[in-house]
Structure 1
Amino acid sequence: MAEIKIAAESRTEFGKGAARRIRRADKVPAVLYGSGIDPTHITLPGHDLALALKNSNALLSIEVDGDSHLAIPKQVQRDPLKGFIEHADLLIVKKGQKVTVDIRVHLEGDAAPDALVVTENSTISVEAEATHIPESVEVSIEGLEVGSQIHAGDLQLPAGATLAIPEDWLIVNIVAAPTAEEVEAELEEAEAEAGIEHDEPEAEAEGDAGEAKPAEGEGNADEGESESE
């Protein structure tokens, strides 16, 4: 993975007020720590950091006060509504150093017809060199039948990476796809638990609503004629 260079500034102001001022300037408060170095409080350009962190395991080259540090994102806090980065913890690493990171599980292919693919774990923890962190692990589900399972120990990890989780961890489970009747029954059950009630359709009016009935006292026009005529 290529290094992403970001110019940082030392931070001397702390607290919520200082953090708000930093964010208003489109910057992000952060902490740089690890490798026996005292934690360094810095600010990073918000746009550059957001681009770099599109890959959660990005390798960053942080330039601050004339020094350069290799670092990986350890914890990133985002605004729950707007999604912008509020704060970042960056772990300093050295070339050749092993780190434990989470990488994505990427599924390839299609399972057998009438099979439903359930991803039990969308990421796995692996140990890899800090400068050679894989982005993802590819998993083929092509043609898998109902009842098939893929565990962590079945994965073909990228070169240099080793599992940091038990081999029996379930990653993918292939189950029977539900029938339309089962889906409808589950929906009705969920609606009942939520207290959702549907209005009953109105009963059709008896008789033909479009047919006019004679008013009481009205008879056939011929019945009103005088017999004397």
Structure 2
Amino acid sequence: MSHETPTLEAQTRTKLGSRYSIRLREQGQLPAVIYGHKQDPLHVSVDARALHDVLVSGAHVIEVQVDGKAEPCLIKDVQYDYLDTTPVHVDLARVDLNEEVELELEVVFKGEPAALNEAGAMLSTPHTAVTVSCKANAIPDELVCDISELGLEDSIHAEDLKLPAGVSLSMEANILLAQIVIQKAVADDEGDAEAGDGEPEVIGAKADEAAE
């Protein structure tokens, strides 16, 4: 887990709405809201580049400085633009570092399964993130899934992850994370098409002909 908590400066904002949000973004700022712990939501703006650096660092808990007051917050949700590349809004939840929080963490797949050397073999990862619970001050940097021993008949589910002490799964245990599948060769599909007479089969055509 990370031992340094990033700090993010924020300024309170009183003008809300999409028009003012657009103006903020044009000035290199992003709209954000701080909520939770039975306190009123606080609408703020943060520096877009500073937020980008925090997100790239992989931090989940940050210290937000607002009007000279600092409070730890969990990065609860980041909304992106239509290209899904640039943040446009962020939700920050007030948190006590010793309280239990629930969050989604990315799974890092590591290892080179020998089964991938089989013809047509490919790694399928239907889910690349899991929801876990742990104390806010004990959020792991990453969750590693070792796939080096994964065979053609094998699969890895959420319950198979080796979670750090103090971290527990907060989702369905049988969610599929990874397996190796065999792709059907494109050449075989083309060969099957060429083997036909080029006319699509009409269901029931033979029965109609027999009736005549």
Give the whole-Å Cα distance in 1 for the aligned partners of 2:91 and 2:191: 47
Give the whole-Å Cα distance in 1 for the aligned partners of 2:17 and 2:158: 43
Could you list the runs of 5+ residues in structure 1 that have no partner in the other structure?
189-229
Distance change (3 Å), C-alpha of 1:25 and 1:185: farther
Task: Check the 8 A contact 2:6/2:59 in 1, yes or no.
Answer: no
Q: Is it true that 1:51 corresponds to 2:53 in the alignment?
A: yes
Task: Check the 8 A contact 1:105/1:139 in 2, yes or no.
Answer: yes
Determine the structure 2 residue equivalent to 1:136. 142
Q: Is it true that 1:145 corresponds to 2:151 in the alignment?
A: yes
Distance change (3 Å), C-alpha of 1:3 and 1:185: farther
Could you list the runs of 5+ residues in structure 2 that have no partner in the other structure?
195-212
Distance change (3 Å), C-alpha of 1:5 and 1:95: same
Deviates more, 1:135-144 or 1:83-92: 135-144
How far residue 177 of structure 1 moved from its aligned partner, in angstroms, is: 4.4
Instruction: Kindly name which structure, 1 or 2, has the bigger radius of gyration based on alpha carbons.
Output: 1
Task: Check the 8 A contact 1:57/1:72 in 2, yes or no.
Answer: no
How far residue 180 of structure 1 moved from its aligned partner, in angstroms, is: 5.3
| Residue pairs, 1:10-159, within 5 angstroms | 10-55=12-57, 57-81=59-83, 83-111=85-113, 112=115, 113-114=117-118, 115-159=121-165
Task: Give the aligned length.
Answer: 188
Q: So what's the TM-score if we normalise by structure 1?
A: 0.75
Give the whole-Å Cα distance in 2 for the aligned partners of 1:17 and 1:68: 29
Q: Is it true that 1:168 corresponds to 2:166 in the alignment?
A: no
Deviates more, 1:116-125 or 1:15-24: 15-24
Amino acid aligned to 1:98:
E
Q: CA RMSD in A?
A: 2.3
Task: Check the 8 A contact 1:93/1:130 in 2, yes or no.
Answer: yes
How far residue 175 of structure 1 moved from its aligned partner, in angstroms, is: 2.1
Q: Which has the higher helix share?
A: 2
Task: Check the 8 A contact 1:57/1:133 in 2, yes or no.
Answer: no
Give the whole-Å Cα distance in 2 for the aligned partners of 1:124 and 1:85: 22
Give the whole-Å Cα distance in 1 for the aligned partners of 2:112 and 2:177: 16
How far residue 55 of structure 1 moved from its aligned partner, in angstroms, is: 4.9
- For 1:47-78, what per-residue CA distance to the aligned partner results, in whole angstroms no more than 9, with x for missing partners? 10111112565211001012111111212112
How far residue 46 of structure 1 moved from its aligned partner, in angstroms, is: 1.0
Give the whole-Å Cα distance in 2 for the aligned partners of 1:182 and 1:140: 33
- For 1:100-132, what per-residue CA distance to the aligned partner results, in whole angstroms no more than 9, with x for missing partners? 111111111112221322112111111111122
Deviates more, 1:16-25 or 1:147-156: 16-25
Give the whole-Å Cα distance in 2 for the aligned partners of 1:43 and 1:36: 21
SS at match of 2:109: strand
